[in-house]
């Protein structure tokens, strides 16, 4: 303890200590002289005074600390002197690390993060798979995917299946269901707001093991049709809307005008089990039809052919996924078989398929995992380029410092001490880059979130840099620093001191390297060629994604999307029903038509090219039903308002568009597109023909009154399907109209009309909020958001790669020409002119480019095949994209190489020869 105190005292009085030691030694020598020893002999006997002092000093301090602070001071000084070097290295590494940190955080949030529930590894998501498209599924609300091995996979089940599974269950300790209930209008204390909701069965919270943060959980008793309607909030929504006020518990509210009581708040960080949908509100499953205003919807709980509810179970301890699937597969099969009435249906029954549920439902994974892996690969390449840059800079500098190091070794510095000093510099560099990289990562995450957030779906993933990512980032930084600092450090300290001391700046410090022709290929050349190869890969990807977007933008829509304002309202949630609802919508539509600045206005039940599809089977006279298990005649459809074809400027090629005659009552009329007409009425006029949509009691007979030119329906990428346009006015329940989209064609900027539109709707009814005001063009752009995101990000990455590779090339060439100053001087003295010198240097650049590009194209050929499914209207080996990318790369390389070349050509032969 006292010792520590004394050492600290020393640290405070360093100068006095040095003076005293000096004086003491002087005194010692004088005494010796007085005793008759010759002064110079006395000193010789005294030995190395500096070493003595150092030893004395080291008695007082912690040696490692002393040396570390020395090393750091020295390193900072060196970094300050070589500002450009430091900046290049830190920025390269920071960008590489930051990009990785950002993408990794996303990977973590989307692919790896588990649900914040009890023992998530025990959860299993129930899905089914079937050969063909499972005709026993008469109606389906939810999603289905193509199964990896053929057939269809879907997470939606008929409600009675839940009871059947539970009665036969031996594998699960809990089994529960949930369904996304969409946007609901929730009014609390006369304040209305749209909330995201999930309907859950009584066993949901208990089964997941999510506790209540306040109030109580929704339990089995709440999940009965006769129970009073209750609701639970998520913690986030409770905090953001109510400031975490406990008085909210027990409060009466209305949801879509239905009275409910808020009874509890879920634990923090729980937003429902679907990672991409951030729920605000939970409602018991039994009340789902009530709050979603589907009074006839109780039937959904009985219908065995209506697939909608999603199921999850918690495995009993020791039960595997496979065992549970084997145990429950039979009972489910028996139940589903009992719902099939036709042989066709029995031929392809859905079979149970369990998947791990720990990360929530996997639709988001399916959608984003491949893009994220590709992004991960891209940023990985960027990190590689950055590391190559740092390695190149470090080794160039280590070569330049050989003399300095030789001097230090010659003066008696230990080899380990010198290596440690060089390492300190590398680690310091890496730490700086790591810290800057965190900043880059934070900015990158914000950028990615903005790019990913889709306007209408409330896409929301909680992404934050967590400590693991932080650690990961630092690890990369430090590993890179140590790795690329150590190799040159080991190499330079192994040198034989004498020749290095004799060596002059301009002679070749590099003894290794392969002679090939007149070029000398060393480590730096390999690194630069590697950088060129990697950059080529990234630039080609950027080129492909950018061309994909431009291809998508130049798709012929078949209608005019310019100058159209788009918004939607849902008057049914404000209490309008039946005829009142229709006349409300008609009123709004006609007022919009006469609004100042509007040319025309119409409405539809979904936005055009908005990524949505309604499809149904049809019966066309003369067209036979298909063989068992295959898709029969069908049509996509949209229900539209008056003057739809005029407003959207879809040309009518035969018959007529909709007018007052189609306003309801009478017979049902339809306009079909050319694809429909050519598919189902080949070689004859479709106008005047009849067909029917749907089946059973909902069957709708239609007369075709017109044929429109084929326009894009749901997506820019897909082929235009057969489409039927129906006037929404004449379509009777149960195909009721709910939400309606309005399209207003304007003279100028559509968004200038936004306030007028809000005013019109408010005047029609103050209870109906206007939602999603946007332009038709922006709505279409939303559907290719992922492609645009990829184009933007890959262009950023490609640019980044180019800059880094150029810096690397510039550094290598600048170093090389500086090394050859002498040689160039001699060449010029012997009559080489400037152009020749420039050509000489650039030929080296060209050789590097050729080598890099050769490797790069091989990589492109292999790598871009992975991108194929994400491209549109082109092949991964699109010659245009390849040529442009290679051209850009070569141009950058030559610019980077030209600067050192020009500098070399300005060398004055006399100065160069004297520069020894």
Partner 1 sequence: MEATTRPEIPPGTLYMLILKTLARVGAMHGYGVAQHIQQTSDDVLQVEEGSLYPALQRMLVKGWVAAEWKQSENNRRARYYRLTPQGRKQLARELEQYRQVSGAITRVIEAV
Which chain residues interact with partner 1 by CB under 8 A?
Answer: 2-3, 6-7, 20-21, 23-25, 27-28, 30-32, 45-48, 51-52, 55-60
Radius of gyration of the chain (CA): 37
| Both tokens assigned to 1 | 């303890």
Q: Which residue from 189, 216, 220 is spatially nearest to 204, judged by alpha carbons?
A: 220
Q: Determine what percent of the chain falls in helix, strand and coil, rounding each to the nearest 5.
A: 55, 15, 30
User: Which is closer to partner 1, CB of 47 or CB of 622?
Assistant: 47
* 120, 275 Cβ separation under 8 angstroms: no
Between 63 and 87, whose beta carbon lies closer to partner 1?
63
Shortest distance (Å) from residue 52 CB to partner 1 = 5
Query: Smallest distance from the beta carbon of 420 to partner 1, in angstroms?
Result: 22
Distance CA 508, CA 504 (A): 9
Shorter beta-carbon distance to partner 1: residue 35 or 916: 35
Nearer to partner 1, 20 or 908 (CB): 20
CB of 24 to partner 1, least distance (A): 5
> Cβ 3 to partner 1, closest distance in Å?
6
Please, what is the minimum distance in Å from the beta carbon of residue 59 to partner 1? 4
**Helices 578-593, 754-764: inter-axial angle, 10-degree rounding:** 140
Q: 911 — alpha (psi -120 to 50), left (phi > 0) or beta?
A: alpha
Is residue 839 classed exposed, middle or buried when 0-12, 13-18 and 19+ CB atoms within 10 A define those classes? middle
- The count of residues in the chain is 916
| Minimum distance from residue 29 beta carbon to partner 1 (Å) | 9
DSSP string, 693-761: ES-GGG-EEEEEEEEEPP---S-SSSPPPPEEEEEGGGPPTTS---SEEEEEEESS-GGGGHHHHHHHH
Cβ-based nearer residue to partner 1, 47 or 666 = 47
Q: Are 78 and 421 within 8 A, CB to CB?
A: no
Measured CA to CA, the distance from residue 767 to residue 581 in angstroms comes to: 13
The three-class DSSP label of residue 264 is strand
Q: Is 146 exposed, middle or buried (0-12, 13-18, 19+ CB in 10 A)?
A: exposed
727: number of Cβ within 10 Å = 21
Beta carbon nearer to partner 1, 30 or 703: 30
Of the pair 5, 416, the CB lying nearest partner 1 is at 5
Q: Which is nearer to partner 1, 16 or 865 (CB)?
A: 16
- Using alpha carbons, list the distances in angstroms from residue 539 to 499, 851, 852, 888: 45, 17, 13, 8
Neighbours of 578 (CB within 10 A): 12
The residue among 40 and 167 lying less far from partner 1, judged by its C-beta, is 40
- Smallest distance, partner 1 to C-beta of residue 18, A: 12
Sheet strands (E) in 59-201: 123-130, 139-140, 145-146, 152-154, 156-157, 172-188, 191-200
Query: Smallest distance from the beta carbon of 9 to partner 1, in angstroms?
Result: 10
Which residues, other chains included, contact 759 with Cβ-Cβ below 8 Å and sequence gap of 6+?
A: none
Q: Which is nearer to partner 1, 3 or 343 (CB)?
A: 3
DSSP state of 459: B
For the CB of residue 61, give the shortest distance to partner 1 in the complex, in Å: 10
Phi, psi for residue 600 in degrees, rounded to 5 = -155, 160
Please say which residue, 27 or 763, places its beta carbon nearer to partner 1.
Answer: 27
CB of 41 to partner 1, least distance (A): 11
- Rounded least distance, CB 71 to partner 1, Å: 22
């Amino acid at each position: 303890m006292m010792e520590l105190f004394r050492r600290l005292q020393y640290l405070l009085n360093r100068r006095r200590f040095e003076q005293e030691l000096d004086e003491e030694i002087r005194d010692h020598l004088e005494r010796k002289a007085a005793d008759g020893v010759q002064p110079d002999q006395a000193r010789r006997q005294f030995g190395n005074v500096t070493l003595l002092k150092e030893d004395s000093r080291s008695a007082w301090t912690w040696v490692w600390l002393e040396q570390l602070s020395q090393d750091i001071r020295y390193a900072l000084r060196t970094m300050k002197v070589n500002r450009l070097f430091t900046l290049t290295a830190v920025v390269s590494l920071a960008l590489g690390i930051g990009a990785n940190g950002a993408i990794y955080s996303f990977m973590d949030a989307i692919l790896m993060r588990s649900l914040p529930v009890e023992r998530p590894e025990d959860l299993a998501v129930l899905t089914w798979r079937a050969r063909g498209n499972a005709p026993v599924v008469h109606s389906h609300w939810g999603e289905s995917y193509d199964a990896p091995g053929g057939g269809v996979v879907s997470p939606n089940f008929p409600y009675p299946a839940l009871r059947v599974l539970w009665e036969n269950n031996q594998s699960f300790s809990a089994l529960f269901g949930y369904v996304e209930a969409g946007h609901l209008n929730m009014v609390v204390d006369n304040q209305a707001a749209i909330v995201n909701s999930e309907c859950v069965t009584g066993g949901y919270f208990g089964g997941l093991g999510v506790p209540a943060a306040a109030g109580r959980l929704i339990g089995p008793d709440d999940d009965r049709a006769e129970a009073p309607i209750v609701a639970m909030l998520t913690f986030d929504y409770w905090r953001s809307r109510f400031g975490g006020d406990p008085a909210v518990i027990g409060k009466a509210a209305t949801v879509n005008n239905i009275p409910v009581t808020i009874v509890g708040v879920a634990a923090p960080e729980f937003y429902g089990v679907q990672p991409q949908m951030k729920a605000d509100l939970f409602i018991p499953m039994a009340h789902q039809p009530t709050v979603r205003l589907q009074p006839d919807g109780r039937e959904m709980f009985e219908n065995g052919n209506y697939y909608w509810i999603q199921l999850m179970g918690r495995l009993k301890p020791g039960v595997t996924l496979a065992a549970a699937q084997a145990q429950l597969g039979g009972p489910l099969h028996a139940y589903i078989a009992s719902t099939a009435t036709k042989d066709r249906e029995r031929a392809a029954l859905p079979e149970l398929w369990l998947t791990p549920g720990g990360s929530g439902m996997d639709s988001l994974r399916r959608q984003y995992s491949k893009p994220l892996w590709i992004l991960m690969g891209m940023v990985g390449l960027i990190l590689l380029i950055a590391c190559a840059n740092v390695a190149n800079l470090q080794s160039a500098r280590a070569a330049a410092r050989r003399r300095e190091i030789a001097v230090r070794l010659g003066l008696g510095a230990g080899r380990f001490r010198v290596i440690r000093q060089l390492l300190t510099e590398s680690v310091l560099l890496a730490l700086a880059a790591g810290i800057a990289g965190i900043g880059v990562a934070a900015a990158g995450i914000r950028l990615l979130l903005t790019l990913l957030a889709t306007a209408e779906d409330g896409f929301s993933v909680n992404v934050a840099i967590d400590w693991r990512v932080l650690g990961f980032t630092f690890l990369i930084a430090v590993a890179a620093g140590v790795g690329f600092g150590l190799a040159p450090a080991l190499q330079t300290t192994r040198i034989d001191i004498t020749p290095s001391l004799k060596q002059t700046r301009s002679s070749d410090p590099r003894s290794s390297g392969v002679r090939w022709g007149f070029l000398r290929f060393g480590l730096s050349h390999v690194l630069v060629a590697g950088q060129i190869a990697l950059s080529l890969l990234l630039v080609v990807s950027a080129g492909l994604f950018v061309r994909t977007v431009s291809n998508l933008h130049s798709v012929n829509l078949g209608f005019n999307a310019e100058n159209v304002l788009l918004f939607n309202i849902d008057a049914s949630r404000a209490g309008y029903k039946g005829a009142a609802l229709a006349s409300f919508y008609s009123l709004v539509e006609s007022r919009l038509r006469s609004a100042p600045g509007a040319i025309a206005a119409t409405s539809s039940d979904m936005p055009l090219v908005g990524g949505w599809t309604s499809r149904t089977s049809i019966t066309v006279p003369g067209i036979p039903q298909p063989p068992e298990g295959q898709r029969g005649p069908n049509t996509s459809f949209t229900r539209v308002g008056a003057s739809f074809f005029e407003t959207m400027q879809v040309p009518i090629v035969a018959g007529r568009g909709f007018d007052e005659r189609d306003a309801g009552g009478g017979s049902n009329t339809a306009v079909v597109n050319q694809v429909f007409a050519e598919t189902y009425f080949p070689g004859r006029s479709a106008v005047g023909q009849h067909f029917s949509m749907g089946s059973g009691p909902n069957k709708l007979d239609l007369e075709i009154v017109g044929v429109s030119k084929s326009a894009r329906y749901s997506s820019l990428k897909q082929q235009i399907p057969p489409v039927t346009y129906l006037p929404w006015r004449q379509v009777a329940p149960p195909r009721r109209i709910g939400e309606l989209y309005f399209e207003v064609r304007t003279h100028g900027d559509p968004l200038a009309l936004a306030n007028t539109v809000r005013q019109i709707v408010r005047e029609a009814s103050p209870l109906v909020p206007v939602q999603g005001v946007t332009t038709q063009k922006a709505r279409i752009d939303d559907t290719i958001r992922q492609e645009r995101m990829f184009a933007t990000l890959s262009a950023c990455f490609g640019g980044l790669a180019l800059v880094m590779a150029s810096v690397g090339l510039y550094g290598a060439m600048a170093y090389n020409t500086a090394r050859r100053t002498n040689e160039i001087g001699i060449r010029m003295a012997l009559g080489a002119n400037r152009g020749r010198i420039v050509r000489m240097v650039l030929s080296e650049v060209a050789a590097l480019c050729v080598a890099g590009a050769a490797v790069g194209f091989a990589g492109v050929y292999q790598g871009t095949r992975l991108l194929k499914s994400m491209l549109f209207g082109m092949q991964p080996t699109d010659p245009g994209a390849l040529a442009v990318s290679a051209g850009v790369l070569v141009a950058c390389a030559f610019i980077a190489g030209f600067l050192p070349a020009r500098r070399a050509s300005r060398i004055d032969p006399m100065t160069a020869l004297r520069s020894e």
